[in-house]
Amino acid sequence: MAPRTRKPERRAEALTRERIVEAAVELLDTSGEGGLTFRALTGRLATGPGAIYWHVASKSELLDAATDAVVAAALATGPAGSAGSPHKEIGAVALGLFDAIDEHPWLATQLATQLSRNPWGPVTPRIFESIGRGVRALGVPEGGWFTAASALVHYILGAAGQNAANGRGAGSGVDRGEFLDSVSRAWEALDPGDYPFARAVADQMRGHDDRAEFLAGIDLILAGITAVHPPAP
């Protein structure tokens, strides 16, 4: 009697587009865009390149999908209207993006690319929809929706991207308090004739909370929007 041939073990986790994107995000987080290669991806997923190409045609498509997946998770703050006031809804969306950009070092660059080169893709309308629902709930007339939402989106992405860059630029081993104190002292030492404002606010830089400052900026923009477009009685 011939010995029975053992059947190969079935993968514990079937390869799907979602699993590929998840692995891509992990590679981007640890190695950056340069580290995201199909060779590295096949090694992480323990599969062949053909299986990946069946789901994703190119690195560009993979970057788009990874960006969209992270943004979708960041914006999962609940359906519109469930968070309370429009101000709170917009604030929740803004903080979700702020934290995602801080957590994923590659995301700010990819979001800038999406807005400029691929505005018809899923990422840009997803962000505008999340912010725009709050703008509409503020009572802004339809003719002002795009301008108001654009002001918020560009502030959110710009401020969040700069905050993340500041954190990486200072270095992982640098104490934040000590770093801010050194900057504050440098500003205080500036020529008072040339830099009166920078000297005046130097002390406010010490110990400030990045997320609180970010939300304060959102409040300023919302105050301007509601001043130009006051809610109907």
Closest C-alpha among 111, 118, 116 to residue 96: 111
What number is the average pLDDT over the span 35-45? 92
Q: Which two tokens stand for residue 146?
A: 């795009």
Burial of 7: CB neighbours in 10 Å, binned 0-12, 13-18, 19+:
exposed
Domain residue spans of the chain: 78-228
Q: Tell me which of 12-16, 148-152, 198-202, 204-208 is least confident.
A: 12-16
Please determine, for residue 196, whether its predicted confidence score (pLDDT) is greater than 60: yes
CA distances 160 to 66, 100, 138, 171, Å, are 19, 9, 23, 17
Instruction: List, for residues 103-144, the tens digit of each pLDDT value.
Output: 999 999 999 999 998 889 899 999 999 999 999 999 999 999
Residue 8 banded pLDDT, cuts 50, 70, 90: very low
Phi, psi of 14 (to 5 degrees): -65, 145
Average pLDDT, the chain: 88
Please determine, for residue 45, whether its predicted confidence score (pLDDT) is greater than 60: yes
Q: Tell me the CATH class for 78-228.
A: mainly alpha
pTM for this entry: 0.85
Residue 193 banded pLDDT, cuts 50, 70, 90: very high
Please determine, for residue 232, whether its predicted confidence score (pLDDT) is greater than 80: no
Q: Check if the beta carbon of residue 149 is closer than 8 Å to that of residue 131.
A: yes
Please determine, for residue 48, whether its predicted confidence score (pLDDT) is greater than 60: yes
Angle at 201 between CA 195 and CA 206, to 5 degrees: 130
Closest C-alpha among 131, 59, 73, 61 to residue 104: 73
